[in-house]
Structure 1
């Protein structure tokens, strides 16, 4: 991986997908009054699950699907679970956590890397930081910023704060610090990474990593206790309510579907084109997040994909940018771990992901 110092000229931020591309779910309004659990069961039997919402594009699509005539609230798939965990801000679960001795202390919500290990700090602390850039690799930024300001800076000028998801990525960060700072013991070598603590007691029914929330002012209130499920009003605002209330509800149908049959890559491609639309093609960060959510349902360690021009290859896998010009190329994504792309012989038999759009 190439390393570089921060350039003076900032890069412009470009959206990774159009509105039509980013809406990857189809919403179905069910005008039957059920408890949250009954609605969840219905959606899982008929569609994919109770509605998950990733961003405002999804929220707007959900609102369009609902006929609010005489309906006060509709259920969506958000429920209180007591979640408290560390994750990468891309939404990936943090499976590699190389904490220093005695860390994390449990008080703070943002992580820095120092001497190859992680420490938790108040997010308001000022530290140097490292950005990831698809073209130039890792960028050491010689500025002191809070974790949130550092994240915003990286997202506006590069891709994101650096993620350290395995030993190989850890060594790359340490190598850059040694090149730029000259030592790993300097205060300047204490750098923010993309890891933060989610103290969010709410979880989506389909186990999606979406951290999008659209609560009404003052919500959630847990008024009287036991308000552990989420309903949406006609304005699209969210309220916490008792799960035993009976409301109409919204199901979603993923436009990506995991097929739990073991086929070669060519067989998987043929299956998707005959029964759906195509093997999934990952060409944006948004679709990569969708793939990461649905691939957990696979029964094989890796899952077939089609053309993959949004680069997320595991170290030692993948190929060059020029190959994105090829009409069709095979690839696989890990169903566990950090869900990176890997190369597999096309005669291997794996589960696969079809696109319905």
Structure 2
């Protein structure tokens, strides 16, 4: 139910995001710190409000009285992330990154270096369909390179371990050449983890006065301009609630962490079912939405029958097409301890793996039989 949404919720569909969901804004006339406001919104709505464009900003102005100053969901962060969405577990900096404005990463002579994102240089794309790496010798900024890779391949490369790092180092084969990789640092992040880059800062903002202003308020009396302030300040705030709109007959991914059985119940109440992947075509469709997952694995509609040692789909079909990772074909010993269900890796080769159904993950569903 909408009122019980505690976890962050984000719908990613194979169509324009603005066509799939709408925001409903709720002004909360209670003074709280930013963290308290975030907790309140997650418990009672979806999250603190995200503002993705000027239309959202205008809608926010309509929701809140002009005399108010309100929290929104934007908070400062210094986290490094992979463009492809892989978890950052392996790092290979030549020197530890500083807190300057060089928020993108290049590889040079096998090591990583901070770089201004607006510099033009070569880059490497990853193509998931062919499992290949493509060096592009045209010079682009990091954002331009990211857009190019996403349009013509899959994304800028992720280097998740020493083996992949050495492989790319060998491909470049030039100790003096720097190339963009998919690692970047976003100085500001939305509470619901949406990837909007829209900002509406007032002149001179954000200024991080006394190095203590990491949260964002909107001054409604000042044309809705944004200011960075201390997160411990006390302000009223705006929550938002996602409302689903049917826009596609294909797949959607939900960034809501549930157990496998909870995910099955959620889908049957709201959509159709957890996805059954019975062909290479559907596996490729699944791969497309996995880039937006917030968990390392994502539930499929796949379950293991311990009695007959067969994987089957929630639609009743036995798995003929399989993409199981080695060692996950039966998992009988594990199954005797706890019921097992099937998930797909959100990164890497997107293989299927066996997990206890009590794990809480994102999940993928279908809107109709495909």
| Fold in common (TM above 0.5) | yes
Give the superposition deviation at 1:90. 4.4
Structure 2 CA distance for partners of 1:33 and 1:225, relative to 1, 3 Å: farther
- Contact 1:35-1:247 within 8 A present in 2 as well: yes
Give the superposition deviation at 1:232. 3.3
Structure 2 CA distance for partners of 1:21 and 1:290, relative to 1, 3 Å: farther
Structure 2 CA distance for partners of 1:72 and 1:40, relative to 1, 3 Å: same
For residues 70-122 of structure 1, the C-alpha deviation after alignment (integer angstroms, 9 at most, x for no partner) is: 55443212234xx333322345553221234x455776443222444323344
**CA distance in structure 2 between the partners assigned to 1:253 and 1:288 by the alignment:** 20
Q: Secondary structure at the match of 1:216?
A: coil
Q: Which moved more, 1:132-141 or 1:105-114?
A: 105-114
Structure 2 CA distance for partners of 1:289 and 1:36, relative to 1, 3 Å: farther
Give the superposition deviation at 1:29. 0.6
**CA distance in structure 2 between the partners assigned to 1:314 and 1:95 by the alignment:** 23
Q: Number of residue pairs matched?
A: 298
Note the residue ranges of structure 1 that are not aligned, 5 or more in a row. Answer: 1-14, 178-183, 296-300, 308-312, 319-329
The match for 1:229 among 215, 221, 242 is 215
Q: Secondary structure at the match of 1:232?
A: strand
**CA distance in structure 1 between the partners assigned to 2:117 and 2:263 by the alignment:** 45
Q: Which moved more, 1:41-50 or 1:241-250?
A: 241-250
Structure 2 CA distance for partners of 1:44 and 1:175, relative to 1, 3 Å: same
- Aligned twin of 1:27: 24
Structure 2 CA distance for partners of 1:165 and 1:16, relative to 1, 3 Å: farther
| 1:1-357 paired onto structure 2 within 5 Å | 17-21=15-19, 23=21, 26-37=23-34, 38-53=36-51, 55-56=52-53, 60=56, 63=59, 67-69=63-65, 72-80=68-76, 83-90=77-84, 92-100=86-94, 102=95, 104=97, 108-123=102-117, 126-136=120-130, 137-174=132-169, 176-177=171-172, 184-185=173-174, 187-188=176-177, 190-198=178-186, 200=187, 202-205=188-191, 208=193, 210=195, 212-218=197-203, 219-221=205-207, 228-232=214-218, 237-241=225-229, 244-252=233-241, 256=254, 258=256, 260-261=258-259, 263=260, 267=261, 270-278=264-272, 283=285, 287-288=289-290, 290-292=292-294, 295=295, 302-306=297-301, 332-333=343-344, 341-345=350-354, 350-353=359-362
For residues 270-326 of structure 1, the C-alpha deviation after alignment (integer angstroms, 9 at most, x for no partner) is: 42334443556695899545531xx3xxxxx8441359xxxxx999799xxxxxxxx
Note the residue ranges of structure 2 that are not aligned, 5 or more in a row. Answer: 1-12, 245-253, 276-283, 303-322, 329-340
Q: Could you state the TM-score of these two structures normalised by the residue count of structure 2?
A: 0.60
Give the superposition deviation at 1:138. 2.1
- Contact 2:267-2:274 within 8 A present in 1 as well: no
**CA distance in structure 1 between the partners assigned to 2:224 and 2:324 by the alignment:** 39
- Contact 1:216-1:238 within 8 A present in 2 as well: yes
Give the superposition deviation at 1:216. 2.9
- Contact 1:88-1:194 within 8 A present in 2 as well: yes
Structure 2 CA distance for partners of 1:344 and 1:46, relative to 1, 3 Å: same
- Contact 1:28-1:65 within 8 A present in 2 as well: no
Q: Secondary structure at the match of 1:128?
A: strand
**CA distance in structure 1 between the partners assigned to 2:263 and 2:214 by the alignment:** 42
Give the superposition deviation at 1:192. 1.9
- Contact 1:276-1:355 within 8 A present in 2 as well: no
Q: Which moved more, 1:146-155 or 1:44-53?
A: 146-155
- Contact 2:343-2:355 within 8 A present in 1 as well: no
Structure 2 CA distance for partners of 1:354 and 1:222, relative to 1, 3 Å: same
- Contact 2:69-2:236 within 8 A present in 1 as well: yes
**CA distance in structure 1 between the partners assigned to 2:324 and 2:201 by the alignment:** 41
Give the superposition deviation at 1:16. 5.8
**CA distance in structure 2 between the partners assigned to 1:65 and 1:331 by the alignment:** 45
Q: Could you state the TM-score of these two structures normalised by the residue count of structure 1?
A: 0.62
- Contact 1:317-1:343 within 8 A present in 2 as well: no
Which of the two has greater strand per residue? 2
- Contact 1:278-1:354 within 8 A present in 2 as well: no
Q: Secondary structure at the match of 1:194?
A: strand
Structure 2 CA distance for partners of 1:142 and 1:111, relative to 1, 3 Å: same
- Contact 2:61-2:224 within 8 A present in 1 as well: no
